[in-house]
Amino acid sequence: MTTSPVAARTRVAPRSDVEAKPIQVGLLGIGTVGSGTFKVLQRNQQEIRRRAGRGIEISAVADLDVARARSIVGDRVRVVDAARQVIADPAIDIVVELIGGYGIARTLVMEAIAAGKHVVTANKALLAVHGNEIFAAAHAQGVMVGFEAAVAGGIPIIKALREGLSANRIEWVAGIINGTTNFILSEMRDKGLDFGVVLKEAQRLGYAEADPTFDIDGIDAAHKATIMCAIAFGVPMQFDKAHVEGITTLRATDIRYAEQLGYRIKLLGITRRSAEGIELRVHPTLVPSRRLIANVEGAMNAVVVQGDAVGTTLYYGKGAGSEPTASAVVADLVDITRLHTADPDHRVPHLAFQPDALADTPILPVEQVVTSFYLRLRVADQTGVLSRITTILAEHDISIDAVLQRESAEGERQTDLIILTHDTREGRMNQALARMQALPTVLGPIVRIRKEDLN
């Protein structure tokens, strides 16, 4: 029997023993995510091998609590208390950094790269602050850095932005990317409670850390938004230029008024391309209640991406937790295993765009951002108050979309004046607010929350 020319050209050579050998992984830290990673790899090893083309094995773990680590991985995995022992092991192909923070994690990641190891990390803070240095070192060494787990847990938003939407000119990205704050805001809306009360409940239930600062002050979300911004628009990481506000000053009153006006308040990470530069901001935001993202409740995450070709896409799922985050870590391990022997120049760039093609587009100061606003003013119940306020807005070229007046619960002869504006520049709004706040009939600090239609 003869073999056709086509068959001869398309026949695949058998794998060598070297190619079939399982890839070896070293874990630095085996806490919540590390233990989940080990369990997922063990449970789904056959499926993972079929996808990756070879096995993926965790052969070494570094953790200060050696006894606890050994109780998780058993006797077949080497457990040490020094991360550098794992990095120095010539048998290890991929180092998974799950320690967290900016300090020792950065040192260990850079040492792993210098040793020629691929790296997988869930450390959004590390990448947002030191990502440019890390990716440059990895590119120079010809190794890969996987970081799907750094943003939105198990939601594959990094792969979507970096690969799935690569045909698009991304216009904007907006996401609920911190489950703790979304849980708190959901509870405040459902139960009508103020922030402090709900925070204590969130801590009791384990949704918030004992020190929740990174979450409630918006810093965690800003780390993640910085990473998405870099990938969406092909710019370096610039966390220091992000505008960051948390949810600590939000009142149940404003959540209730927003609901009456057809909106819900969410802490959003937003990055948007404009003619003047790129917006990068995290803050509480009024979102129309008819939008899908406005109905994301509890500790869930969701990211909306607007592309010029695909239109609007939504990515929803668990943003934290042992196995959801492990899902993203293992996905990175599979990707690296597939491309382990590939020419480094033909791998997917870390920030989606080729390293020499990153743009120097400026990140806009928040004063230059154009958006609309929700304003709540506690004012004296007197004739002419509304007229004076609307005159100030008009003098700053700020037009009004809607006005709501409600009797204040804090005493007679006071009223809450709620104003929704059309789009205006933030700096202009700041000037108007300063003048309104100085009015003797304005009886307390003016509440200002940005509003986004996301259409």
The catalytic residue among 117, 124, 159, 224 is 224
- Residues 81, 63 contacting (CB under 8 angstroms): yes
224 assigned to active site:
yes
C-alpha 424: how far from its chain's center? 27
d(C-alpha 147, C-alpha 157), whole Å: 11
d(C-alpha 245, C-alpha 268), whole Å: 10
Question: Catalytic residue positions?
Answer: 224
